[in-house]
Amino acid sequence: MSLAGKVAIAGAYEHPTRFAPNKTMFQLMAESARGALDDAGLTINDVDGLCTTGVGMGWMGILGFCDYLNLTPNYVDSTAIGGSSFVAHTAHAAAAIAAGLCETVLIVYGSTAASQRFAIGTGGVAGGGEPCDQYELPFGPTTVGSYAMIAQRHMYDYGTTPEQLAEVAVVARQHAAMNPAAKYREPITVGDVLASRMVSSPLHLLDCCMISDGGGAVVVTSAERARDLKKKPVYLLGAGEAVRHTARGMRDFLDIAAAQSGRLAFERAGVSHSDIDLAMVYDSFTITVIVTLENLGFCQRGEGGAFIGGGRIRYDGGLPLNTDGGGLSSNHPGMRGMFLLIEAARQLRGEAGQRQVRECEVALVHGTGGNLGTRHSGATLILSNQAG
């Protein structure tokens, strides 16, 4: 059974906050839910399915959020695979809707990582209870260190340069300048990135995403129902998800989950790379974008550093990427997949203002969750304003 064109994002809302010390995580989630339902022209009573990660909510986290919003859904999914979770939720919700398990699914996220001063990337790695942790945590891995080891190997194998990594951050900032909600909007240069302090070699501070507060939500429903709602439907054409890990000590670390999830999403959507008008790719670090584009098949392995140059990933280039400014410049409350979805929806509806991509009909969304250098997930969606 193909999901192509059967389900659509009917509502999307990005919480404008970047720092909310006076709000709770559940409040940000509820405000985001209200925004996405308003956007769709629906009410909370229309929601019969709920997806959220449960991360930060305690044991059996999603139940606590159902309690908070007095929800009694027919379908719940708290898949928690890091920052890609909400991208995967969208596919799971689509499958559930297409199978008749529910009709309208709210996918929701909120985080107060910045106001709680939670060191996402440089505070050591969470966990400790799993078998793999016993062979990693004693040596001091950090999230940024995990990605830095990928960058180091990429440079060694393919001659990728610090300047090429920096270019990803420079373009993100150019896009953020056109996004009034973005946290960092002052232009930066390649020189600024290279002059920023080293956090974990070869990644400088400006190679790393920020830590912000934030929230967001999308509403997913059947294509048939979406066509009767307030906004132009954003159809799901194809989806894929995958996991990579240390592979009993035999991992090729430059082969990432995107290779598998991207191939599945393209096959299922029946579109090719040349059809993609916008790529929303998780930019936890500059290297993440380069290695993800390679694994998604936009260029050959090792060519990512050259591929992103020459303005190609600018909003007016050949492959516009992260037009909201990404996690490098707009916002990053910890699990950014939600905002990849929201910006893709804005662009496909023609609501992106100054940074609008011309004739934007097909968008690829790819979320990465976890750490590329140890274990991570990848979730890819292909979305369109045309049903197929």
Partner 1 sequence: MAEQARYLKPLPHLDEENRPWWEALKRHELYLQQCRDCSAMRYYPRALCPECLSPHTDWILSNGRGKIYTFTVTYQNTAAGFREFLPYVLAYVELDEGCRMLTNIVDCAPEQVTIGLPVAVVFDDVTSEITLAKFRPAP
Residue 116 engages partner 1 in binding (rule: CB under 8 A):
no
Backbone angles phi, psi at 275, to 5 degrees: -80, -10
Stretch that binds partner 1, among 151-159, 176-184, 232-240, 299-307 (CB under 8 A): 151-159
Please, which residue, 100 or 131, has the CB nearer to partner 1?
Answer: 131
Type of residue found at 270: G
d(C-alpha 122, C-alpha 307), whole Å: 29
The answer to whether 248 contacts partner 1 (rule: CB under 8 A) is yes
Select the residue interacting with partner 1 from 3, 28, 199, 383 (CB under 8 A).
Answer: 199
Mode of pairing for the β-strands spanning 75-77 and 49-51: parallel
Q: Which is nearer to partner 1, 159 or 310 (CB)?
A: 159
Name the residue nearer to partner 1 (CB basis): 197 or 358. 197
How does 76-105 read in b/e, with b if 16+ C-beta sit within 10 Å? bbbbbbbbbbbbbbbbbbbbbbbeeebbbb
Q: Which of 58-66, 99-107, 130-138, 174-182 is the region at the interface with partner 1 (rule: CB under 8 A)?
A: 130-138
122 binds partner 1 (CB under 8 A): yes
Q: Is the dihedral angle over the CA atoms 211, 212, 214, 217 positive or is it negative? A: negative
Name the minimum Å distance from CB 139 to partner 1.
Answer: 5
Contact with partner 1 (CB under 8 A) among 63, 95, 101, 137: 137
Write the DSSP string, 295-355: HHTSS-TT-HHHHTTTTTTSTTSSS-B-TT-HHHHT--SS-THHHHHHHHHHHHHT--GGG
Residue 141 interacting with partner 1 (CB under 8 A): yes
Q: Does 126 bind partner 1 (CB under 8 A)?
A: no
Type and span of the H or E element at 40: helix 25-40
CB distance 271 to 351 below 8 Å: no
263 is a contact residue toward partner 1 (CB under 8 A): no
User: Would you tell me which residues interact with partner 1 (CB under 8 A)?
Assistant: 119, 122-124, 128-129, 131-132, 134-142, 144-145, 148-150, 152-153, 156, 197-203, 246, 248-251, 253, 373-374
